[in-house]
Structure 1
């Protein structure tokens, strides 16, 4: 049994990609996921974007390696030549690329041909980062949520997803905000559930969870509201680009799992301050 077997009766709505500022307003207000069709038509700069485009455009790329459990944990990264990454894609499949394209962490080597514009409904003031993801297939994430809204655009291949609304956080078994080990390992937004083999004896509340399952196809985008738990697994070779932006209301921060996130971030900030003080006090 996998996490996908926890699908409930609800299905996800599909609507045309909004081209106006208020195009996602009702989904944002309801914190409701939605599939958007017509990405390439709405965002013309993506029309030629696929693996071959990025393989030829990029000199190097930032990747992570699989952990022992076969999952990419988004913790450690290395930058390798694009030629070496292509070898990974063709042979070992032991690597998943995550390259910032706009916003935080963008490489100085990013060519002018890769220019990202924001959709009309993503506010410039709340925008955080747009990332490129490239995987060889069967790459999967942990069950987690983000404190920001997310829009994941599929440019090549397809991915299967299951989403759990924020009000199901009690069934998701997040790491405790008071676990020092979890904080040090940056398990701020992760679940302790093994998505491939859920252990219902260890996580009995998971049986009550009902998720929304679907496929993100090439040319579509998936809007994932802040605080929505999600697990995503690619089928074959895949290329996607996302946007993260902050547009939460105060009432959102007062509910789980974002309240949990706020507490964890404060704890991590405190740990960072303690480290800095210790460093200053330590003998040279």
Structure 2
């Protein structure tokens, strides 16, 4: 069984990339995922952004290695020269790049001429980070959700996705907010399900899930509302850039899975404080 076998009959809607500040607001309010066409026309800075450009323009790049299950978990990173990363891309393929381009964690190694502009519908005050992703092909994500909205723009290659709405959170088997081990391992937004071999016997509610699947093609963007569960798998070499922004109402935070997220983050804050107290006592 494949996770993509859980796709229901619904098709994801495609619209032209909005150029006004309220262009996504009705879709955000009803938590509706979308494909947006015309990325390069709406955001001219993306023209010419591909693997060749970043290979020649970046001095180094931040990457993660595959875990034993073949998935990239976003837990540990290392910085490689672009020459070394290019060798990884052309040989073992064991490396997936995640480099912040704007917002939190931006490196000094970014090209001076690279200016990442925000789409008009993303408020500056709500924006968190824009990331560059480069993969060798067959790179897969976890089944997870984000507490922020996400816009994933495909600049080279293509990716297949399946999305499950927030009201199917029970079918996704998230880690409990009261699991200390899960909190320590930073399993805040992850599902327990093995995306490579979904086990309906172990996770029977999974069989009741109905997702929306499709392909994200070059020149398109995928809007993933906050709290939407998603699994994404690339076909061949791929380059994409995304935006994360926080634009949730109080009502959104009172429903799953965002309520769980809020509880988990508070629990992690408590654990961090306890660790600091323990460290101070040990030092004393």
- Residue aligned with 1:282, SS: helix
1:114 Cα offset (Å): 1.6
8 Å contact from structure 1 (residues 57, 113) kept in 2: no
Q: Match of 1:281? A: 281
Asked whether the 8 Å contact 1:134–1:240 carries over to 2, the reply is yes
Q: Is residue 3 of structure 2 the alignment partner of residue 3 of structure 1?
A: yes
Alignment-derived partner of residue 105 in structure 1: 105
Equivalent residue number for residue 16 of structure 1? 16
Report the Cα offset of residue 249 of structure 1: 0.5
Is 1:181 equivalent to 2:181 in the alignment? yes
Distance (Å, rounded) in 2 between the aligned partners of 1:14 and 1:54: 29
Equivalent residue, structure 2, for 1:76:
76
Q: For residue 85 of structure 1, what is the aligned residue in structure 2?
A: 85
* Unmatched 5+ stretches in structure 2: none
Give me the whole-angstrom Cα distance separating, in 2, the residues matched to 1:166 and 1:75: 24
SS at match of 2:92: coil
Cα contact 1:16–1:37 (8 A) shared by 2: yes
SS of residue matched to 2:130: strand
What is the CA deviation profile of residues 10-57 of structure 1, one whole-angstrom value per residue up to 9, with x for unaligned ones? 100000000000000110011000000000000000001000000011
Contact 1:101–1:129 (Cα < 8 Å) also in 2: yes
- The alignment's TM-score, normalised by the length of structure 1, stands at 0.99
1:162 to partner: Cα distance: 0.2
2:84 counterpart SS class: helix
How many residue pairs match? The answer is: 284
Whole-angstrom CA distance in 2 between matches of 1:122 and 1:135: 26
Q: Which runs of 5 or more structure 1 residues have no equivalent in the other structure?
A: none
CA distance in 1, matches of 2:265, 2:124: 23
Q: Which residue of 2 aligns with 1:133?
A: 133
For the residues of structure 2 that align with 1:78 and 1:205, how far apart are their CA atoms? 37
The answer to whether the aligner puts 1:95 opposite 2:105 as a matched pair is no
Partner of 1:259: 259
2:237 alignment counterpart: 237
Corresponding residue number in structure 1 for 2:30:
30
1:54 aligns with 2:54: yes
Question: Shift in Å at residue 142 of structure 1?
Answer: 0.5
2:116 aligns with: 116
SS for the counterpart of 1:69 is: coil
Counterparts of 1:99 and 1:114 in 2: how far apart (Å)? 13
Matched residues in 1 for 2:70 and 2:103: separation?
29
Deviations 1:70-99 (A, max 9, x none): 000000000010000000000110000000
Taking structure 2 as the reference length, the TM-score comes to: 0.99
Please give the alpha-carbon distance, in whole angstroms, between the structure 2 residues aligned to 1:276 and 1:5.
46
RMSD: 0.6
- Please give the alpha-carbon distance, in whole angstroms, between the structure 1 residues aligned to 2:114 and 2:239: 14
Maintained 8 Å contact 1:58/1:110: yes
Note the C-alpha offset of 1:113: 2.0
Cα separation, 2, equivalents of 1:283 and 1:19? 56
SS of 2:283's equivalent in the other structure is coil
1:170 and 1:215 map into 2 onto residues whose CA distance is 26
